[in-house]
Structure 1
Amino acid sequence: MPALVRHHWWLCAALALSGAAHAQTSAPQPPAGPGASAPVAADAAEPAASAPVVNSDIDAPLFYQLLIGELELQGGQPGVAYQVMLDAARRTGDEELFRRVVQIALQARAGDQAVIAARAWRDAVPTSLEAHRTLIQLFALLNRPAEIAPVMRSLLAITPPDARAGLLAGLPGLFQRNPEPVRVQEALEPLLREAAARPETRFVALMVLARLAQVAGNYESALIQTRAAAKDFPDRDEPLAMALELLPHRPEAEALITAELQAHPDKQSLRIAYGRALARAQRPADAAREFRILTQESPDIAGHWLALGSLELDLQHPDAAEAALQRYMALVGSRPPPTTLAERAAEAAGLNQGDKEARQQGQLLLAQAAEMRGDFKAAEALLAQIDAAPGNLDIAYRRASLLGRQGKLDQGLKLLQALPVERDQDRRARVLAESQLLRENRQWQAAYDLLGKAVAQSPEDADLIYEQSMMAEKLGRAQEMEALLQKVIELKPQHYHAYNALGYSLADRNERLVEARDLISKALSFAPGEPFIVDSMGWVEFRLGRLGEAERLLRQAYGSRPDPEIAAHLGEVLWAAGRQDEARRIFADASRRDPRNEALQATMQRLQVRP
């Protein structure tokens, strides 16, 4: 540390400690305690080892300038302290003083003054990496991204080539919570394109460009950069991870993942992530395909079987789900008992809940599979085996659902209503569970009334209003449903289910079809490829008389999610196209999986198709 700095901090420490030192020397000394050594006379003490003397360059005017600055700061005058200390820093070019001035400005919440000090620091010491980094961080903090690029260029120029990529990689982190991501992308894109032209920074620059574009909602640009990174750096996994993130917004990103899995089918981590992304995108059939491969390649990994069982349930395949879940339970049950002292202690203390929770999850899903098969007795027996905490909503709902399907709806509702509610979110979850149970049992008016009371208490809850709109639709109140959905969109402009529901309702009533198509297109802009929204688009195309496009879209939706309602739409389009035999096969397959589906049964009845 320079001599000037040592004297500066000695001065500050001396000012802070002088009062305490004076008090210690003037206060009476306590008597020595038991066993204490007798005081040693000062003249008898051994001389201390002499430290080397370092002369400071500080002169008297600077000494008093620093003293005044610190005194002003301690006296509650940070503005005066800032000016005095900044002048001293400029005159000396001392980095420690510049750092101190920036700190004073930040403590006073004076962002512009902090920038002035950091700029002065950078100008006084052009080779200072810290000065450049401080200035960049301040610009990010103050949401001034356009001013970062020239400073970053200067910083890259003085940074060793092997460290430049790391600097660029940190840029997205500076703007994680920035309210204007589009402005950030536009400000930094020229700098990053320059970096992408250099071999040592090309990969990182491409990935940062992709990340900034993704955060800004510019998914097309993000995909272009991701493709370029994947092409030029085929051994890196980051482009594939980005492609998975882009999948819900740009279905074309899937080609990068499938090509990699085709070339390297043993990449299990990628296949797992791909399967999960497909499940999140409401494509259970495609996700189940990937987890079937995983169970074949690694049959002893319990998590693969659990995921497959859950997906088979979603696909209304209770037998396949049960087989996968039984395998999962066998693997969970075959885990070796605790052997180490720490493992046994954790088990004795009840801390090792992993296996217990795993078994509970498997039993809950097995109960759902039994219920789906109509074996209510087996489902109830499985639920009774679950040792869960009182008030567990998932288990309570499954029991209530069983009661409802056996004609004991009132008992099921009482079971849910008895659940404890300590927080508003508990009460909300219970209302949604009750309304779902009423919906399953076709009690539209009761569900509507229940949701109406909840909305009256929480008028800004878009999800509750959305559920109420669905009940209004079931009651034939189309205008009310439309008003409720418009309210949802007003509260939550990215609520794509609301756009889809409104567009589909218009198409189903064969009204305002152009508007319906625009609404569904809006929903697809938020969730491209989501099967139920693709189904809605296929249905509006059918209403518009475009049978070819309707069939293409409905096949796409049905292939990703073989849902009975999508099957009803696809079957009707095929029927209208004169392919009744194929339509009958689709109706029959969907009826086997869900014979109670209203939309399917209504379509078959209207077309006079026998089950």
Structure 2
Amino acid sequence: MKIRSSRTLRTLCLAISLGTTACLAGAADKDVVGGPLPAQELTPRTIYQFLLAEIAGARGQISLSAQLYLDLARTTRDPRIARRATEVAMYSRNPQMAGEAAQLWSETAPDSEEARRVLAGVGGGARNLEQVQAQLARALAQSSARLGQNLLGLNRALAGIPDKDAVQRIVQRLTEPYLELPEAQVARAHAAMVAEEPMQALGAVDAALQLKPGWEAALQLKAQILQHTGASAEAARQLEAELERNPDSTTLRLTYARALVSAQRFEDARTQFKHLLAANPEDAELLYAVGLLSMQLNDSQTAEAHYLKALEVGYAQPDLIRLQLGQLAERRGEGTLARKWFSEVRDEQHQAEAMIRSAHSIAAEGRIDEARALLKAQDGNAALKQRYLMAEAQLLREADRSAEALAVLEQALRAAPDDSDLLYETAMLAERLNDLELMESRLRRVIELKPDHAHAYNALGYSLADRKLRLDEAETLVARALELSPDDPFILDSMGWVRFRRGDVPAALKYLERAYAIRADAEIAAHLGEVLWSVERREDANRLFDEALKAHPSSKVLADTVRRLRAE
């Protein structure tokens, strides 16, 4: 049976009942082929292979999906299937397969601008960059009405080139004739951002917004650039101003809500997500977002209600919600209900997490050995077994059985003496047991194996400073950790504590206040409160302690610090 033209693709989409990219494109996207669509025989084998490819993709087997699509494209020589094969191969990060699929697409759709553009970029790292640039320049020159869209696609076409500085130079040259178009400026901004040139990216996106004020795509990109540079508060401020000018824009409000999350303004973010939810009360993603933010704000009742509703309307990753619901039940002390939720997790990706949380729930009821037995009974590959072993050690550590925890990990370390994770964890246990020699030797071995392991430098530096030992060396170690991870709140906390130990209270407060602003952690609160107390800012310290104790009622470090200071 022969089915001609667009009817073939529509029938194929109906046959598999899946909303794939290829089906959604349909005959409306004529640039897939750039001309008349080919006749195509809709055989059972074609439908079967299409189904196999889609199912493989849905199960995360992206390389298999790409191979199946490429085989189907070779057999049918249909440019629509070749395009789909190209997309999936690019997503699977297989440049050889993507190059073959793109070549096939270009051959079967010789008049397609998009096919030529993608072919120019796919596998670009192995091609002559001048040829790539020339081919893309021709595609842009012939774009006519699609020029703006093709300018926006430049970075995607060049994604296969590993040298991002070279990509930026190519984009700069290709867009030179079109700088009066906002899409050219956005292309430059994207390339600059990927090349880690944020100021150039901001300049280009601002130029785009001058050419096209209020353009939501450019506003979103600007927010991403600002957040990438650590200016999340400024991104939120600018989006808020834009939203005031265009309060009905769902896209702007969603971007603003996400920027508020990045700025850690969780209550404000929840307000914006609730606003969006009011217009779309069964949107599973919005329901999940409100649930997560409510959980972050310790509003368990609201979190649970939104999680349950998200499950009801079919949230795409229900196991994530089951894990969260289990945690909420665990917080309330309802261990049986918590373990019920954890037991319903089915996805292999999350089953280990569910099992570990179940063990923690059992341990919280005082049944440590039963929790350990549960973890020991689990099977899996080497990485998974090590994860269960680490979880067992954590249970023992939390039960003040650090010596047993150390013995568990030491046994594993004998089989893998250069495992940096095991070395680090045993060092932390040795520190708890006040075995400073073992702690230091293990941390220095981690640094030797992984010179960029920020937390190894930090742990050693903090441990020395906390005991008022070798403070010059302690500061050097923590400073190195900060170089490697400048915005880590725990490393900032360590530097604040080092400066406090050295008598530099103004610097200590600067580091500790910044750390606490990033993460309101119980131990950071204990350090900040103690420094405030030391300079007679008792009211500020007590207010901080009350807030932190309410948020972290089970923190022994915080409780001990507050008790000691208030007893003075």
TM-score range, shorter chain: 0.5 to 0.7
Residue 153 of structure 1, CA deviation: 5.2
Q: 1:444 to 1:379 in 2, by over 3 A?
A: same
How far apart are the structure 2 equivalents of 1:473 and 1:266? Answer: 56
Give CA deviations for 1:458-489 in whole Å, capped at 9, x if unaligned. Answer: 56654444434433433334555455445555
Partner of 1:388 in structure 2? 344
**Residue 199 of structure 1, aligned match among 169, 180, 188:** 180
Aligned ranges 1:364-443 → 2 under 5 Å: 364-370=326-332, 376=333, 378-384=334-340, 388=344, 392-419=351-378, 421-443=379-401
Match of 2:485 among 513, 517, 524: 524
1:439 & 1:138 partners in 2: Cα distance? 51
| Distance in 1 between residues matched to 2:456 and 2:228, nearest whole Å | 18
Residue type at the aligned position of 2:302: A
Give the match for residue 142 of structure 2: 159
1:444 is displaced (CA, Å) by: 2.6
Match of 1:563 in 2: 521
Q: Within 5 A, what are the aligned runs for 1:580-591?
A: 580-591=538-549
8 Å contact 1:240–1:256 — kept in the other structure?
no
2:155 paired residue number:
172
Deviation, structure 1 residue 199? 0.8
Displacement after TM superposition at 1:567 (Å):
0.9
2:252 counterpart of 1:252? no
C-alpha distance in structure 2 between counterparts of 1:175 and 1:369, whole Å: 48
- For residues 103-142 of structure 1, what are the structure 2 equivalents within 5 Å? 136-137=120-121, 140-142=124-126
The amino acid across from 2:562 in the alignment is M
Change (3 A) 1:324 1:495: farther
Q: Which residue of 1 aligns with 2:5?
A: none
1:461-480 superposed matches below 5 A: 462-478=420-436, 480=438
Aligned residues: 449
Shift of residue 233, structure 1, vs aligned partner:
3.6
Q: Distance in 2 between matches of 1:298 and 1:150?
A: 48
Output the CA distance in 2 between the equivalents of 1:509 and 1:271: 49
Partner of 1:188: 170
Q: For 1:130 and 1:393, how far apart are their aligned partners in 2?
A: 43
**What TM-score do the two structures reach when normalised by structure 1?**
0.61
Whole-angstrom CA distance in 1 between matches of 2:362 and 2:544: 31
| Partners of 2:512 and 2:528 within 8 A in 1 | yes
Give the Cα separation in 2 of the matches to 1:243 and 1:481.
45
Give the 3 Å change call, closer, same or farther, for CA 600–180 of structure 1 in structure 2. same
2:63 corresponds in structure 1 to none
| Partner residue in 2 for 1:551 | 509
Asked if 2 retains the 8 angstrom alpha-carbon contact of 1:332 and 1:358, the reply is no
Distance in 2 (CA, whole Å) between partners of 1:566 and 1:490 is 28
Q: Per the alignment, in what secondary structure is the counterpart of residue 422 of structure 1?
A: coil
Write the letter of the residue equivalent to 1:331: K
How far apart in 2 are the matches of 1:479 and 1:243?
50
Equivalent residue for 1:286, pick from 259, 265, 272? 265
Distance 1:138 1:403 in 2: 52
SS in 2 for 1:607: helix
Q: Percent identity?
A: 29
Distance change (3 Å), C-alpha of 1:572 and 1:230: farther
Q: Deviations for 1:240-279, whole angstroms, at most 9, x for unmatched residues?
A: 4435544664112542343213431555555555655776
The answer to whether structure 1 residue 360 and structure 2 residue 339 are counterparts is no
Shift of 1:365: 3.0
CA distance in structure 2 between the aligned counterparts of 1:488 and 1:217, rounded to whole angstroms:
29
Change (3 A) 1:292 1:168: closer
- For 1:520-564, what per-residue CA distance to the aligned partner results, in whole angstroms no more than 9, with x for missing partners? 432334xx4x44344344434444544334334433432343221
Tell me: CA distance 1:431–1:248, structure 2 relative to 1, closer, same or farther (3 Å): farther
Shift of 1:422: 3.0
CA distance in 1, matches of 2:497, 2:425: 22
Against the structure 1 CA distance between its residues 561 and 383, is the aligned structure 2 distance closer, same or farther, given a 3 Å change threshold?
same
Q: CA deviation at 1:184?
A: 3.8
Alpha-carbon contact 1:520-1:536 (below 8 Å) kept: no
Of 294, 319, 325, which aligns to 2:303?
325
CA contact (8 A) 1:192 1:206 kept: no
Contact 1:275/1:287, CA 8 A, preserved across alignment:
no
Q: Distance between the aligned counterparts of 1:481 and 1:249, measured in 2?
A: 35
Q: Is the Cα–Cα contact under 8 Å of residues 551 and 573 in structure 1 kept in the other structure? A: yes
Q: TM-score by structure 2 length?
A: 0.65
Among 190, 194, 197, the alignment partner of 1:211 is 190
Contact residue 210 and residue 222 of structure 1 kept, 8 A: yes
SS of aligned partner of 2:485: helix
Which residue in the other structure is 1:50 paired with?
none
Does the 8 A contact of 1:567 with 1:600 survive in 2?
Answer: yes
Does the 8 Å CA contact 1:542/1:573 hold for their aligned counterparts? Answer: yes
Question: What is the distance in 1 between the residues matched to 2:451 and 2:184?
Answer: 32
Taking the aligned partners of 2:536 and 2:499, their CA distance within structure 1 comes to 17
Residue-by-residue CA offset, 1:480-505 (whole Å, 9 max, x unaligned): 54554455556556655445445544
Q: CA RMSD in A?
A: 4.3
Deviation at 1:290, TM superposition (A): 0.5
Q: Given the alignment of the two structures, is residue 601 of structure 1 paired with residue 559 of structure 2, yes or no?
A: yes
Q: Which amino acid aligns with 1:518?
A: A
Q: 1:268-318: CA deviations, max 9, x gaps?
A: 555555655776x6x7x5235312442355354565454444445456x3x
Task: Give, as a single letter, the amino acid of the residue that structure 2 aligns with 1:589.
Answer: E
Structure 1 162/217 Cα, relative in aligned 2: closer, same or farther at 3 Å? same
For structure 2, the 5+ residue unaligned runs are 1-95, 97-111
CA apart distance, 1:409: 1.3
**Structure 2 CA distance, aligned partners of 1:141 and 1:452?**
45
Equivalent residue, structure 1, for 2:216: 237
Higher relative contact order (CA 8 A, sep 6+): 1
Cα distance in 2 for residues equivalent to 1:271 and 1:477: 53
Q: Which amino acid aligns with 2:124?
A: A
The separation in 2 between residues aligned to 1:195 and 1:479, in whole angstroms, is 65
Q: Give the 3 Å change call, closer, same or farther, for CA 425–195 of structure 1 in structure 2.
A: farther
Q: What is the CA distance between 1:181 and its match in structure 2?
A: 2.7
Mapped contact 2:121–2:161 kept (Cα < 8 A): no
CA pair 311-468 structure 1, distance change in 2 beyond 3 A: farther
Name the CA distance, whole Å, in 2 between partners of 1:547 and 1:131: 63
Amino acid at match of 1:260: L
Q: 1:573 aligns with which of 531, 544, 547?
A: 531
